[in-house]
Amino acid sequence: MDEEPRSSLGQRFAKKAAATAEGPPQALSLVAEKEKKKQRILLELENLPSLPSVVIEIMKLIQDPDSSARDFEEHVRKDQVLAGKMLKLVNSSFYSLSRKISTINEAVVVLGFNTLKSLVLATSTRKFLERQLSGYGYDKKGLWKHSISCAGGCKFLGRELGLGDMVSEEIFVAGLLHDIGKLILGPMIEENMETFRKKVAEGASALDAEQAATGFDHAAVAGLILKKWKLSEELADVIVHHHAPAAAEVHPRRAAILHVTNFIANRLRLGLGPSYPGPPPIEGSAYQALGVPDDRFRDLLEKMQTAMREMERLFAQID
Ligand SMILES: [Fe+2]
Ligand SMILES: [Fe+2]
C-alpha cells in the first residue's frame, strides 16, 4: 500500500490545526455574547418594578372561589384614585347607563362583579404597560392597546367556549400580561435594530428576529418575570406558550385561546405600528384545541373582533 507522503500529511494536519485554532475562539465569542445578553436580561429583570399591589390582590380573589364582591370592593375602596377611575369608566358614554353611579358597590350591582374585576385589572396595569417600545413598532400606548384588546378577546372566547366566568377571568389576565416580556426585550431590540430588521427582511418571523437580536424571545422572558412576581405557574404556562400553545403543559386550550386572540389583535393591528411584521398564521393545533367547528369558528372570530375593539374604545374614555 502506498504511504501518503509525509509532507501531505503534515499539510493536512497543519490545516486542521489552523481550522481548530480558528473555531474555538469564534465559538467562545458566541458563548460570551449569549452570556452577556443573558446577564443583561437578568439585570433588567431586577430593575423591573412590581405589579401594583391591587392587581396581585384582585388576582388572588379571582383564584379564590370563596371570594365575594365585598372583598373586591374593599380592595378598590382602599385606592381612591383607582375607585375614581372606575366610576369614570362606569359612567362613561360607553355604558350609557340611565343614572349616575356614585359608589363601587352600585357599580358592582349594575355591571356585575366580573366586569368590574376586569376593569380594575386593566386600569391598574395600564401605567405599567404604557411604554414606548419602538423596536416592536409600539408607540406609548401600543402595547397597552394590544394587551387590553387581547384580554377582552380571551375573556369573550373563554365564555363562548363554556369555560365559565372564573376561568374566563383567568384567561383575561393572561391576555393582559402575555407580552410583558417585551418590556425587557424592547430596549435591547432597539440597540440591535439592524439585526432585527435584517432578519425580518429575510422573511423571518418576529419571534425569530427577536431571538437573533436579543438571544431570547419575549414569551420566555415573560416566564422569568412571572416567576419573579411569584404569580401562579398555571398562568405562566399559558403565557409562556402563547406562540406555541400545543407545548403548554397544564392548559393547552387556554394557551390556544390566547394564541388565536393574539393573532387576531395583530391582524387587526390593534396598537401596532406600521414597521412591525404581520402575524404568522394560527397554529393548526390551536384550532383543534379550541374544538369549534369551522362555521362556528368564523362567527366567533367576528364577534371576538368586536369585543376586542370595544375594549380599546372603552379605555379610550379615560385617556
Ligand atoms: Fe407575543
Ligand atoms: Fe401579543
Distance 98 CA to ligand 1 centre (A): 39
Q: Express each pLDDT in 242-277 by its tens digit.
A: 999 999 999 999 999 999 999 999 888 888 777 676
The domain tally of the chain equals: 1
**237 found inside a domain:** yes
**253 found inside a domain:** yes
Question: Which pLDDT value is given to residue 62?
Answer: 83
DSSP bridge partners of 82: none
**222 found inside a domain:** yes
The DSSP string of 31-100 is: HHHHHHHHHHHHHHHHHSPPPPHHHHHHHHHHH-TT--HHHHHHHHHH-HHHHHHHHHHHTSTTT--SS-
DSSP bridge partners of 133: 138
In angstroms, the CA 268 to CA 68 distance is: 36
Distance 14 CA to ligand 2 centre (A): 52
Distance 144 CA to ligand 1 centre (A): 13
* Residues near 54 by beta carbon (within 8 Å), at least 6 away in sequence: 75, 76, 78, 79, 82, 120, 124
Distance 27 CA to ligand 2 centre (A): 33
Distance 235 CA to ligand 1 centre (A): 15
**85 found inside a domain:** no
**301 found inside a domain:** yes
Distance 113 CA to ligand 1 centre (A): 29
Ligand nearest to the CA of 218: 1
For 219, what's the count of Cα atoms within 13 Å in the CB-facing half-sphere?
A: 20
**104 found inside a domain:** no
Q: 148 is in which domain, residue-wise? A: 124-316
- Could you list which residues have their CB under 5 Å from ion ligand 1? 179
Element (H, E) at 217: none
Distance 319 CA to ligand 2 centre (A): 22
| CATH classification at residue 142 | 1.10.3210.10
What is the pTM assigned to this prediction?
A: 0.86
Q: Express each pLDDT in 60-116 by its tens digit.
A: 888 888 888 888 888 888 889 999 999 999 999 889 899 999 999 999 999 988 889
SS3 (DSSP) at 242: coil
**90 found inside a domain:** no
**93 found inside a domain:** no
